[in-house]
Amino acid sequence: MEISKASPILVTGATGYLASNIIKILLERDYKVRGTVRSLAKKEKYDFLTKLVPEKSHNLEFAEADLLDPRKWSAACEGIEYVLHVASPFPAHSPKDENEIIKPAVDGTLNVLKACVEKGVKKIIVTSSVAAMYCGNLGTITEDDWSIEEKCPAYQKSKLRAERAAWDFWRQNNGKFEMAVVNPGFIVGPVHTIAGGTSEQLIADFLNGKVPGVPQLSSSMVDVRDVAECHLKALLSPQSNGKRYLCSAGSMWFEEMTTVLREEFEKYGYKVPSRTFGKCLLRLVGIFDRRVALAVPEIGIKRVWQNKLSVEELGMNYISPKQSLIDMGYSLIKIGAVPDKTKK
> How far is CA 40 from each of CA 2, 11, 44, 65, rounded to the nearest angstrom?
31, 15, 10, 9
Q: Where are the alpha helices (DSSP H) in 16-98?
A: 17-28, 43-46, 71-76
What pLDDT does 295 receive? 59
pLDDT score at 84: 98
Return the number of other C-beta atoms located less than 10 Å from residue 163's C-beta: 25
Q: Of 227, 327, 199, which is closest to residue 21 (Cα–Cα)?
A: 227
CB atoms within 10 A of CB 6: 8
Parts of the chain with a pLDDT under 70: 89-95, 195-196, 278-297, 344
Would you please indicate which residues are annotated as catalytic (active-site) residues? 159
Q: How far is CA 119 from CA 3, 112, 181, 238, 289, in A?
A: 17, 11, 20, 21, 45
Distance CA 192, CA 172 (A): 38
What is the rounded CA–CA span in Å between residue 19 and residue 232?
Answer: 12
DSSP string, 68-83: TBTHHHHHHTTT-SEE
306 SS3 class: coil
pTM: 0.93
What is the CA 140 to chain-centroid distance, rounded?
21
Residue 101 is predicted with a pLDDT of 86
Terminal CA-CA length for the chain? 50
Catalogue all structural domains in the chain, each as residue range(s) with its CATH number. 9-185+223-248+304-316 (3.40.50.720), 186-222+249-303+317-339 (3.40.50.720)
State pLDDT tens for residues 177-211. Answer: 999 999 999 999 999 987 667 788 889 999 998 88
List of residues 6+ apart from 48 with CB closer than 8 A: 15, 20, 192, 193
User: pLDDT, tens digit, for every residue of 253-291?
Assistant: 999 999 999 999 999 999 998 888 765 544 434 433 444
State the Cα–Cα distance between residues 273 and 208, nearest whole angstrom. 10
Distance CA 320, CA 311 (A): 14
| Gap between the Cα atoms of 161 and 147, Å rounded | 10
Query: What one-character DSSP code corresponds to residue 29?
Result: T
- From CA 10, how far away is CA 32, in angstroms rounded? 9
**What is the percent of the chain where pLDDT is above 90?**
74
H/E segment holding residue 33: strand 33-37
d(CA 190, CA 330): 8
